[in-house]
Amino acid sequence: MIPAAHAVIDLDAVRHNLATVRQYAPDANVMAVIKANGYGHGLLRIAEALQNADAFAVARVDEGIRLRKAGLKNRVVVLEGFTYAEELEEFIEYQLDAVVHTSVQLEIIDNRKEQGQLAVWLKLDTGMNRLGFKPAELSSTYRLLAACPIIKQPIGLMTHLANADDKNDETTKNQIRLFNDTVAAYPGQRSIANSAGILGWDDAITDWVRPGIMLYGISPYPEATGQQLGLRPVMALHSRLISVKSVEKGDTVGYGGSWRCEKSTLLGVVAIGYGDGYPRQAKAGTPVLVNGKRVPLIGRVSMDMITVDLGSQPQARPGDAVILWGDGLAVEEIAHCANTIPYTLVCGITQRVQIFC
Ligand SMILES: *Cc1c(COP(=O)(O)O)cnc(C)c1O
């Protein structure tokens, strides 16, 4: 028996989305970003579906090691690099590319005498103020790295866009210009664009692009869905009705009694809650598909259940199929109703939700 709350992952859609990345960036190499358990879709399952990506990017070294232990041979870039010398050992042992973004890493690398064992990407901070060296630090940093025997040459050069999901924000143009001006005199491959950069900023497309969210069929823009951008949604979150009952005018529903019925109606209880990763912040009126038809969420989301108004679906019965997001109900729309971004919803699916492909 399939568990009530489960997710279905469409691996054909993942492959389609990679092909779509290549249409938007036909001359670029693709570093498929599969950090955070493949944005909640399953690290190894997504990596195996995307084996013709030119490289993978993960956030942490343990994610890269999992890819290697599963036998994946693609280049793997670890976006947070290493912090300790012991971690650097793992990069060498498992042949992972390291992002170098802070001077502590330079000291660790400087102590190594092996030849050409480590591929690195030097990260410049062009305004995000998260990871990276300031443009003024590039020449000294580059010189140090170029002199380290362990580093494979040429060094890659990258930066990250802070505001690319807003097409009217000048910050992106300024970041791209600052990056290009700063690296102009250096050899090595360049990488700037995340999904929003690929989809909205042609100048951000350079030697390597780094799509994440778009591979999962989701738009990085608040005003569009992935489907409108030619992407196919990958994750669908399913459950079922487990109770249907009538409620009277004036009855309250759920914790805190925050919902009061304005008229008598039929109430459905669905086996999904924040314990599965359904957002507790989803407000009353958030759409839920029952037997393929939209009905509104009412009352508070609890750990294991939500309640919906089945007034428009009087034939609904316990056992009927429910979709929380997926075909016909974009995760972008649910994110909007929960005052969050779709990234957090797909990343937030919990262990209890079994995944089927
Ligand atoms: C997560 C991440 C990406 C991918 O971003 P999306 O918005 O999901 O496309 C690209 N580059 C870096 C450095 C990241 O941390």
CA 328 – CA 87 distance, rounded (Å) = 44
* One domain for residues 29 and 155: yes
Q: Is the domain of 41 the same as that of 83?
A: yes
Same domain, 286 and 340: yes
Cβ of 220 closer than 6 Å to ligand 1, yes or no, is yes
255 and 161 in one domain?
A: no
Question: Which residues are identified as catalytic?
Answer: 35, 255
Last residue of a domain, which of 164, 191, 225? Answer: 225
What is the tally of structural domains in the chain?
Answer: 2
Cα 212 to averaged position of ligand 1 atoms, centre (Å):
5
Please check whether residue 177 lies inside any domain of the structure. yes
Looking from the CA of residue 33, the nearest atom of ligand 1 is 4
| CATH number where 286 lies | 2.40.37.10
Q: Is the CB of 79 under 6 A from ligand 1?
A: yes
Domain boundary pick from 198, 225, 252: 225
In terms of domains, do 209 and 261 share one? no
Whether 160 is in the pocket of ligand 1, judged by its Cβ within 6 Å, is: yes
Q: What is the pLDDT of residue 159?
A: 98
Task: Report the distance separating Cα 12 and Cα 16, nearest Å.
Answer: 6
The pLDDT value given to residue 60: 98
What pLDDT sits at residue 327?
87
Q: Tell whether 66 and 143 lie within a shared domain.
A: yes
Report if residue 230 sits inside a domain. Answer: no
Do 102 and 172 belong together in one domain?
yes
320 lies in which domain range?
A: 235-356
Q: Are residues 101 and 210 in the same domain?
A: yes
Residues 178 and 267 in one domain: no
Strand spans (E) along the chain: 6-9, 29-33, 55-58, 75-78, 97-100, 120-124, 156-159, 190-191, 208-209, 235-247, 252-253, 259-260, 265-270, 287-290, 293-298, 306-309, 321-325, 354-356
Domain co-membership, 328 together with 258: yes
Say what the alpha-carbon torsion angle 104, 106, 107, 108 is, to the nearest 10 degrees: 90
Select from 20, 78, 79 the residue to mutate for testing ligand 1; criterion: most ligand atoms less than 8 Å from CB. Answer: 79
216 and 244 share one domain: no
pLDDT reported for residue 278: 98
Q: Is 194 in the pocket of ligand 1 (CB under 6 A)?
A: yes
Closest atom, ligand 1, to C-alpha of 123 = 13
Which ligand 1 atom is nearest residue 198's CA? 9
Confidence (pLDDT) at 46 = 98
Specify the residue with its C-alpha closest to ligand 1, atom 4: 212
Residues 213 and 244 in one domain: no
Q: Which residues of the chain have pLDDT under 50?
A: none
CA of 109 to the centre of ligand 1 (A): 25
- Within 248-345, strands assigned E span 252-253, 259-260, 265-270, 287-290, 293-298, 306-309, 321-325
pLDDT for 158 equals 98
Q: How far is the CA of 33 from the centre of ligand 1 (A)?
A: 7
- Please give the Cα distance from 10 to 136 (Å, whole number): 45
231 lines ligand 1 (CB under 6 A): no
Give the other-Cβ count within 10 Å of 336's Cβ.
Answer: 15
Give every CB contact of residue 266 below 8 A, 6+ residues apart in sequence: 244, 245, 246, 247, 309, 310, 311, 313, 314, 316
Closest ligand 1 atom, residue 79 Cα: 13
95, 72 Cβ separation under 8 angstroms: no
The DSSP symbol for 283 reads: P
Residue nearest (by alpha carbon) to ligand 1 atom 3 = 194
CATH number of domain containing 125: 3.20.20.10
Return the best residue to mutate from 29, 33, 195 for the ligand 1 pocket (most ligand atoms within 8 A of CB). 33
What pLDDT does 258 receive? 87
